[in-house]
Chains A and B, each alone.
Chain A
Amino acid sequence: MELLTNQILAGLATGAIYACMALAVVMIYQAINHLNFAQGEMAMFSTFIAWQLMQWGLGFWGAFALTLVISFIGGVALERLLFNPLTNAPVLVHVAGFIALFAILNSVAGLTWDFTIKQFPSPFGSTGFLGSQLISKHQAGIIGVAFAMLSLLYGFFRFTRIGLALRAAASQPESARLVGIDTRWMVALGWGMASAIGAIAGVLIAPVVFLEPNMMGGVLLYSFAAAVLGGLSSPFGSVLGGFIVGVFENLVSTYVPGVGTELKLPIALALIVTVLVIRPSGLLGRVVVKRV
């Protein structure tokens, strides 16, 4: 029983990481209706910027705040410079663009900061949370941040005019322009926000997985899975999906014989596909009425 509790708690802690990243995935999906394959690399790059700022002598929170600003601007710039010109290109070409961006960011980070792993400090500390052995302060902190970001995003999309405009521009761009929304800037804004959220996720993940150019590979896969599982139209669903994937991943590798680290991901993905066959819009996603 104690093993089970332990594994669930550990799963929630990893799940929180996936949840943060899944939020970024959903954010950009809301803005552009695409899964951004380069999202993980963008987060990794932001984390390196934070690390570099700290190397130059900034404190953690100073570096963190500055990184958020840089990441937001960077995200907007990427959209304006690279993806806006592709607006009228076929959908699959965007995917190729994401792959290209992935290759560029990964390679540039590798050349600038090399591939050796680096320690990254935790803002919360690494001792046990409330004296508990089960979960560290950093893990508890990640869970807290995931929920804080979720509430902020929920409020943003539900209650602010700009959040409403963003959703409108993403779902029906033509109609959005007919109510006076400048859809091109909405897309750029979505990129900026996704980039900043990714930076938060990266900074939280780095103390756990260590900082290196390939740190986000595995995380992003689980986050996609989490976002899709929860429903790509629902920030809340993506966080829930993150926790489910984290816990499930841990339980499977502990309790199912023959499943080592290598089969963990395929099995987690298989579960998700099964869920999707039953509920095609994800656990909390909305079913949109489809017309001819």
Chain B
Amino acid sequence: MSAIEETLGQTVAAVEVRKSSMPTVARLVLLLGLLVIPLGVSDFVVFQVTTVLIYAIAILALNLLTGASGQFSLGQSAFYAVGAYTAAIMMEVYGVNYALTLPAAGVICFLFGFLFGLPALRLSGVYLALATFALAVAMPQIPKLAVLEPWTGGVHGLVVNKPEAPFDLPLSQDAWLYYFTLSVAVVIYWLCANLLRSRTGRAMLAVRDNEIAASALGVDLSLYKTLAFGTSAAFTGVAGALGAIVVQFVAPDSFTFQLSIAIFVGMIVGGVGWLPGSLVGAVFIVFVPNLAEGISKGLSGAVFGVILFAVIFALPHGARQIADWIAKRLPR
């Protein structure tokens, strides 16, 4: 393919990214579906679907970073870990209500992401990938440090108590947590979609499309890059806090580099920059490893790899491609 065709292709892709959410009808149908899922299935299934929602938030956060500002982070597991530990420590060591830990995790992770971003975002491309990667590798070691053990529980981690449904609602603990997670996810989705449409969001998109041109237009590059990074870290932290509450356990080895990889794969499968794809990506990373194990225990890694290859061959732009395909065929 020629350069011009490529440039055209990229421009088209960029335009499509701006159309980064879904029509209202589709949104309502999806929301309705998500609302009825827990009715009539076992608690374990509800727990799994809750996990999907939590990963979807984490993928959404990465999407916001990569899709909107063109940066690429392998350090998402670190922010997830900070969020999870924030929630666990607040609940178990200080007895704070679980719902209050979420904003706290968000704020702490925003600051953490912002401060990490200040020096790291002077780097770009593979170098930024390496810096965030260093963060992901270092993070599981931090809670193990002797100084922090009274709070973090060291290698053994912390057990978190599962909250009951409030106001005597006739819901099991798992179902309540599902609806709680769902409402948080909806709020974060709404925030992300609006952020992209705002002035700040447009500045981020400009940075993504052409750094040099954006800086010539007076966009403060480092500020917007760092803001995007901080916001992404904050949402990832909220996902981490939810994860801690739902899984009822945090330990250093739950937050290794593998988690960053999973979040990344989820973003690719869902389609970079397409926010609803985050949910599809989350379904993929929660269920496909199980499926692979079901097909062959010894070769589950290989089966997962083959499925991933099949997906990126068929849909290099992820689930977004299917959505576009359907949208084109629907009557207007």
- A contact set with B: CB distance below 8 Å: 35, 82, 85-86, 88-90, 92-93, 95-97, 99-104, 106-108, 110-111, 174, 221, 224-225, 228, 232, 262-263, 265-266, 269-270, 272-273, 276-277, 280, 290-292
Contact = CB atoms under 8 A, between A and B. Distances in A.
Contacts of B265: 96, 99
B268 A93 contact: yes
A228 B312 contact: no
Contacts of B6: 88
B129 interface: yes
B126 A228 contact: yes
Given A93-B316, A225-B130, A228-B126, A100 B120 contact: no
Contacts of A276: 123, 127, 130-131
16 contacts: A86-B313, A93-B316, A102-B305, A103-B301, A103-B305, A106-B301, A107-B303, A107-B304, A174-B2, A228-B126, A228-B127, A228-B130, A269-B130, A273-B131, A276-B123, A292-B210
Residues of B contacting A: mostly = helix
B131 A89 contact: no
B72 interface: yes
Residues of A contacting B: mostly = helix
B261 A99 contact: yes
Interface in B79-129: 119-120, 122-124, 126-127, 129
B186 interface: no
Given A97-B309, A262-B141, A280-B123, A107 B213 contact: no
Nearest to A37: B261
A273 B135 CA distance: 10
Interface residues of B, number: 49
Contacts of A100: 304-306, 308-309, 312
A110 B301 CA distance: 10
A104 B302 contact: yes
Nearest to A29: B126
Contacts, number: 131
Given A103-B301, A104-B301, A273-B120, A266 B138 contact: yes
Contacts of B124: 280
A291 B213 CA distance: 10
Contacts of A225: 130
Given A35-B129, A111-B299, A89 B123 contact: no
A273 B122 contact: no
A288 B13 CA distance: 27
B134 A35 contact: no
Interface of B: 1-3, 6, 9, 13, 66, 72, 119-120, 122-124, 126-127, 129-131, 133-134, 137-138, 141, 144, 210, 212-213, 261, 264-265, 267-269, 272, 298-306, 308-309, 312-313, 316-317
Contact of B308 (A96, A266, A272): A96
A35 B126 contact: yes
A3 B212 CA distance: 50
Q: Which 10 A-B pairs have the closest CB atoms?
A: A107-B301, A266-B138, A269-B134, A104-B305, A89-B316, A103-B305, A100-B308, A107-B302, A100-B305, A96-B268
B258 to A, nearest CB: 10
Nearest to B269: A96
Contact of B312 (A35, A93, A110, A111): A93
Contacts of A104: 301-302, 305-306, 309
Nearest to B304: A103
Residue among B122, B133, B261, B302 having the largest count of chain A Cβ atoms under 10 Å: B302
Contact of A224 (B130, B210, B212, B300): B130
Contacts of A82: 309
A232 B126 contact: yes
A96 B138 CA distance: 23
Residue among B3, B299, B312 having the largest count of chain A Cβ atoms under 10 Å: B312
Given A92-B268, A96-B264, A276-B127, A103 B302 contact: yes
A99 B123 CA distance: 23
A159 B17 CA distance: 45
A291 B164 CA distance: 58
B138 A269 contact: yes
Nearest to A108: B302
Contacts of A88: 1, 6, 9, 316
